[in-house]
Amino acid sequence: MDKRSQQQQLQHLYWRACFGATPALIQDERKTSIRQLVKKLLKDSAAFTPLNGAEQTDRRKKLRGLVKEGAVDRNGIKQQIQRQNEQIRDLNAQWLDRMASGEGVLREKLAFFWHNHFACRVRNPMAVQQYVNTIRQHALGKFGDLLMVVSKEPAMLQFLNNQQNRKNAPNENFAREVMELFTLGRGNYTEHDIKEAARAFTGWGFNAETEFVFRPRQHDDGAKTIFGKTGDFAGEDVIQLLLAQKQTARFITTKLYRFLVDDQPATDSTTTKRLDTLTSQFYASGYDIAGLVQTILTADWFYENRYVGNRVKSPVELLVGMQHSLNITFPQKQPLVFVQKTLGQVLFYPPNVAGWPSGRNWIDSSSLLFRMKLPDVILKAAAVSVRPKEDGDVNTQVLDRKGNGFANVTADWATFNNAFSDVPDSNLPDALAQFLLQQPLGKAQRQLVMQRLKTGESRPEQIKNLTVALMALPEYQLC
Amino acid sequence: MKRRDFLQQSGLTVAGTMLIPNFLKAFEMNRLATPVTGGKTLVIVQLSGGNDGLNTVVPFRNDIYYRERPTLAIPSEKVLKLNDEIGLNPAMESLKSLYDDGLVTVVNNVGYPNPDRSHFRSMDIWQTASRSDQHLSTGWLGRYLDANCSGSGCLPYQAIEVDDTLSLALKGKQVNGLAMLDPKKLYNQTQNSFVHGLANVKTDHAAGSDNLHYLYKTLAETNSSAAYVYDKAGKFGNAVHRTQGAYPATELGNRLKTVSELIQSGVATSVYYISISGFDTHINQPGQQERLLRQYADAVKAFMGDMKATNREQDVLLMTFSEFGRRVKQNASNGTDHGTANNVFLIGGDLRPGKVFNEAPNLTNLDEGDLTYTVDFRTIYASLLRNWLKADDVAILGQKFDTLNFV
Q: What digits encode the pLDDT tens for the residues A254-305?
A: 999 999 999 999 999 999 999 999 999 999 999 999 999 999 999 999 999 9
Q: Which of B168, B178, B323 is the closest to A392 by Cβ?
A: B323
Chain B residues within an 8 Å CB radius of A390: 48-49, 277-278
Q: Do B198 and A363 touch (CB under 8 A)?
A: no
Compute the average pLDDT of residues B159-180. Answer: 95
Inter-chain touch B280–A394, beta carbons under 8 Å: yes
Give the per-residue pLDDT at A59. 66
In the prediction, which pLDDT does B207 show?
Answer: 54
| Half-sphere exposure at residue B152, Cβ-oriented, CA atoms within 13 angstroms | 16
pLDDT interval class at A5 (50, 70, 90): confident
| pLDDT value, residue B232 | 84
| Residues on chain B touching A444 (C-beta within 8 angstroms) | 197, 201-202
Residue B1 has pLDDT above 80, yes or no: no
Q: Is B333 on the interface with A (CB under 8 A)?
A: yes
In terms of phi and psi (left: phi > 0; alpha: psi -120 to 50; beta: otherwise), the region of B258 is alpha
Q: Which strand (E) or helix (H) includes residue B197? A: helix B193-199
**Pairwise CB contact (< 8 Å): B156 & A365:** yes
Q: Could you tell me the residue ranges of all domains in chain B? A: 40-182+240-397
Which pLDDT belongs to residue B204?
A: 62
| Minimum-distance CB partner of B195 among A344, A372, A394 | A372
- CA–CA gap between residue A243 and residue B41 (Å, rounded): 52
Q: Judge: B284–A74 Cβ closer than 8 Å, yes or no.
A: yes
The chain A residue lying nearest B156, using CA atoms, is A365
Tell me which of A36-45, A49-58, A103-112, A222-231 is least confident: A49-58
Whole-angstrom Cα distance, residue A243 to residue B148? 44
Q: Is A213 helix (H, G, I), strand (E, B) or coil?
A: strand
SS3 state at A26: helix
A-B CB pairs within 8 A amount to: 154
Alpha-carbon distance B86 to A241, whole Å? 54
pLDDT tens string A116-174: 999 999 999 999 999 999 999 999 999 999 999 999 999 999 999 899 899 998 899 99
The whole-number pLDDT of residue B208 equals 60
The pLDDT of residue B17 is above 80: no
Beta carbons of A439 and B209 less than 8 Å apart: yes
What is the average pLDDT value for chain B, to the nearest integer? 87
Least Cα separation, residue B311 to chain A (angstroms)? 32
> What is the tens place of the pLDDT at every residue in B299-355?
999 999 999 999 999 999 999 999 999 999 998 889 999 999 999 999 998 887 668
pLDDT at A109 over 70: yes
Distances (CA, A) of A78 to A73, A395, A400, A405, B190: 9, 8, 15, 25, 42
Backbone angles phi, psi at B59, to 5 degrees: -80, 80
Name the B residues in 269-298 with CB < 8 Å from any A CB. 275, 277-284
Provide mean pLDDT across the span B221-246.
76
In chain B, the residue whose alpha carbon lies closest to the alpha carbon of A66 is B332
Q: Name which of A73, A78, A366 to mutate to probe chain B: the one with the most chain B Cβ atoms within 10 A of its Cβ.
A: A366
Q: Are B317 and B347 spatial neighbours (Cβ–Cβ below 8 Å)?
A: yes
- pLDDT confidence bin for B30, thresholds 50/70/90: very low
| Secondary structure (3-state) at B366 | coil
Quick one: pLDDT at residue B160? 97
**B40-182+240-397 belongs to which CATH class?**
alpha beta
Predicted ipTM > 0.90: yes
d(CA A401, CA B164): 12
**Phi, psi (deg, nearest 5) at residue B72:** -100, -25
Q: Percent of chain B beyond pLDDT 70?
A: 87
CA distance B249 to chain A (A): 19
What percentage of chain B reaches a pLDDT higher than 90?
A: 72
| B-chain residues near A393 (CB < 8 A) | 49, 119-120, 280
pLDDT band at residue B240 under the 50/70/90 scheme: low
pLDDT band at B241 (very low <50, low <70, confident <90, very high): low
Q: What is the pLDDT of residue A412?
A: 97
* Inter-chain touch B212–A306, beta carbons under 8 Å: no
Sign of CA dihedral A122, A128, A133, A134: negative
Reported confidence tier of residue B27, pLDDT bands at 50, 70, 90: very low
Q: Do B197 and A444 count as a contact with CB atoms less than 8 A apart? A: yes
> How far is A315 from A12, CA to CA, in rounded Å?
18
Residue A417's pLDDT is: 97
Q: What angle do CA B208, B213, B217 make, to 5 degrees?
A: 160
Residue A463 has pLDDT above 50, yes or no: yes
* Chain A environment of B330 (Cβ under 8 Å): none
Question: CA of B106: how far to CAs of A120, B87, B100, in Å?
Answer: 36, 10, 13
Choose from A199-203, A384-388, B228-232, B352-356 the range with maximum mean pLDDT: A199-203
pLDDT > 70 fraction of chain A, expressed in percent and rounded: 96
Does any CB of chain A come closer than 8 Å to the CB of residue B370?
Answer: no
Q: Which residue in chain B has the smallest CA separation from A355?
A: B135
Q: Which of B67, B110, B108, B69 is nearest to B86 (CA)?
A: B108
Mutate to test the interface with A, among B188, B189, B215, B222 (most CBs of A within 10 A): B215
Asked if the Cβ–Cβ distance from B218 to A352 is below 8 Å, we say no
Asked whether the beta carbons of residue B198 and residue A176 sit closer than 8 angstroms, the reply is: no
In chain B, which residues have their Cβ closer than 8 Å to the Cβ of A476?
none
Using CB atoms, which residue from A121, A311, A368 is nearest to B219? A368
The reported pLDDT for the residue numbered B13 is: 37
Q: Which residues of B touch A363 (CB under 8 A)?
A: 214-215, 218
Q: Angle A315-326/A365-380 helices, nearest 10 degrees?
A: 20
Q: Which residue of A has its CA nearest to B125?
A: A352
Contact A368 B185 (CB under 8 A): no
> Which residues from A are below 8 Å from B197, CB to CB?
444, 447-448, 451
DSSP character string of A261-286: T-SS---SHHHHHHHHHHHHHHHHTT
The conformational region for residue A70 under phi > 0 = left, psi -120 to 50 = alpha, else beta, is left
What values do phi and psi take at A458, rounded to 5? -70, 165
Q: Quick one: pLDDT at residue B14?
A: 36
The 8-class DSSP code of residue A164 comes to: G
Q: Which residues neighbour A317 within 8 Å (Cβ) at sequence distance 6 or greater?
A: A19, A479
Give the residue on A whose Cα is nearest the Cα of B200. Answer: A444
CA distances from A247 to A137, A150, A188 (A): 25, 20, 8
pLDDT in tens, B203-218: 765 456 789 999 999 9
* The predicted structure's pLDDT at residue A352: 86
Residues of B within 8 A of A447 (CB-CB) are 197
Task: Name the 3-class secondary structure at A191.
Answer: helix
Question: Residues with Cβ < 8 Å from A335, sequence gap 6 or more?
Answer: A378, A403, A404, A405, A406, A409
- Per residue in B72-95, pLDDT (tens digit) is 999 999 999 999 999 999 999 999
Report d(CA B142, CA A361) in Å as an integer: 12
Q: Which residues of chain A does B255 touch, with a Cβ-Cβ cutoff of 8 Å?
A: none
Q: Please tell me if residue B156 touches chain A, with a CB cutoff of 8 Å.
A: yes
Q: What is the mean pLDDT of chain A?
A: 93
Picking from A311, A342, A474, the nearest residue to B198 by CB comes out as A474
- Number of CB atoms found within 10 A of residue A357's CB: 18
What pLDDT is recorded for position B28?
42
Check pLDDT > 50 for residue A32.
yes
Q: Among A63-77, A157-171, B375-389, where is mean pLDDT lowest?
A: A63-77
Confidence of residue B158 (pLDDT cuts 50, 70, 90): very high
DSSP E strand stretches across A201-329: 204-206, 212-214, 224-226, 229-231
- Can you give the pTM of this predicted structure? 0.89
Whether residue A365 and residue B50 make contact (CB cut-off 8 A), yes or no, is: no
Q: Do the Cβ atoms of B226 and B20 come closer than 8 Å?
A: no
> Is the distance from CB of B328 to CB of B342 less than 8 angstroms?
no
